Structure 1
C-alpha cells in the first residue's frame, strides 16, 4: 500500500481521494450484500491468475487506479506491465494479477470501469494532439467532467498529451458572458475580481473582436475566443500580437482542429475530451489451469 501511495503521488494524484473513490465504487457494486454469482460457484480457497488485456489499440491510463481496486479487494499480488500514458496495440497485457478468485472477480468490473473510461479519454486526447502536431498550439480540457471524477479525467487528459485548464472554480477566474451580463461589463467584472483576488489568474471570454479589444486593455492572463471562425481567430492573434495568450473554443472538431491551431492561438479548449470520449475496449481474462 505504501508503494502504491508513492506511485499515485508521483503521478500527481491524491492517494486518499483515489482510495475513497475505489471504496465508494465497490460499495456501490455490492450494495450492502455480496457477489452472489461468485460466492455460489467458486470456493473460498480457489486461486487464479488473470490478465487485464486490451482488445483495441489506444493510449492507456488508470493502471494505478486498477492497482488500488485490486488492493482494496484483497488482491495484493499484481504487476503493472506498462507505463501510464503508453501507446499500446490490441492484445497487450497491461496488468497481471494473482490471488483469490472471488476477490479478483469482485475487483473486475470496477477496475475495468476506471481503466476503460480513463484510457478512452487518453486515447481521444492523443488523437487531437496528433492532429495539431507541428503547431505551437496545445489541446486543453474543460470543466465538462463527470461529477466526482474530475481529478482522474484530467489526469487521463495529461496522459494523452493534453494540458489541463483550471481544476476548480476556486483555482482561477473565468469571466463568461453571464458574468459580464450580471456585472454590467467586461471591465466591471474584471476589476471586481482583481480587487478581491489580486493574485488569482483571470481569463476573459469574448465572442466578438470588439470585446477582444476591450479585454486586451485589461491585461488578463488569457482570453477565450468563443465560437469564433478561423478567420476571426487569425485576426485576434494579429491584434493581440503576443500580449495575451489566446484560447479558442466552440465549433471546433477534430476535422478542423489543425485549421484553428495554425491561426496562432495558444490553446484549443475541447470539452469532448472528457464528456464524450468512448471507452477503450479492455478485458480481464483468467489464464487456463491457473
Structure 2
C-alpha cells in the first residue's frame, strides 16, 4: 500500500517529524517528548519522516478525537437509511471483538504452518510439543488484547473456536493434527504447502489436493479467486450506481427498503392497478404496500 506524503499547511507551522514513537513517548524533531504534553495545534503537525500524518483521528483543531460512539451511531443510521433498514447499531467495542477473531485466525494459520515445517524438518515429537507450548496463539492474542488471563480472551471468541479442556486447548491439539496431515500429504515441497495454507485456510488440505490433481497451482487458484472477487466488486458497483439513481426519485430510505426486500430495478416498471410501481412510489404510496404487491406478482 502506498503511503501518504501529506504535510501540514504552511499556515499551521512547520512539520513536527516523529521518530522512535511508542504509545507514550517519541522523538519530535530529534527531542524526546511525551504525547500528553503536546497541544492540539502541535498534534496536528506530527508527521512521519517520509511524510504523512502520524494521527489516526483528530478534530479540526487538532484536539484528540474521543466521541467514537456518536460516529458509530450516525454511521449505523446512514446505513439503515441508505442500504439496510434492519442494520443494527454498532458500538466501537465491536471492533475489538472483530480484531480478536480475525487476529486469532491469522495466528493459527501461521501456527499450523510453523508446526508443519517443524514436523517436516525434524520429525521430533519433543521439539513439536515444545513449540506448541511456547507459541500457543491464544496466549499471544491474550497479550495483544492486554488481558491478564485467557479466560477473559475467550469472551471475545466463538466458543467453538476456543474450547478449553482439562489439559490443553482444542486449538493446540488441532494444530498437531493439521500439521501431521500436511506433513504426511503428497505435497512434499514446504513452500507450496505454506502457499496452500495461506490461500485455503487451516483445513484446506483436501481442497488443495483436489486442485493439484487438476493441475492447478496456488498462484493459479489465487489469480482465479482475485478475478472472481473483482468481478463481484464491479457488479456490486454497477448495481450501486443504478440504485443511487433510483434513490434520487423518492423519499429517503425508500430505495434501501426496496433493495433490502429483494426488489430489482426492472420491477419498478411493473404495472399495479393501472400504474407502474415507480409511479405509485413517486405519488407517495406506502413503500411496503408496493413491495407486497410486487411480491404477489413475482411469486
Q: Which has the higher contact order (CA 8 A, sep 6+)?
A: 1
Higher share of residues assigned helix: 2
Higher share of residues assigned strand: 1
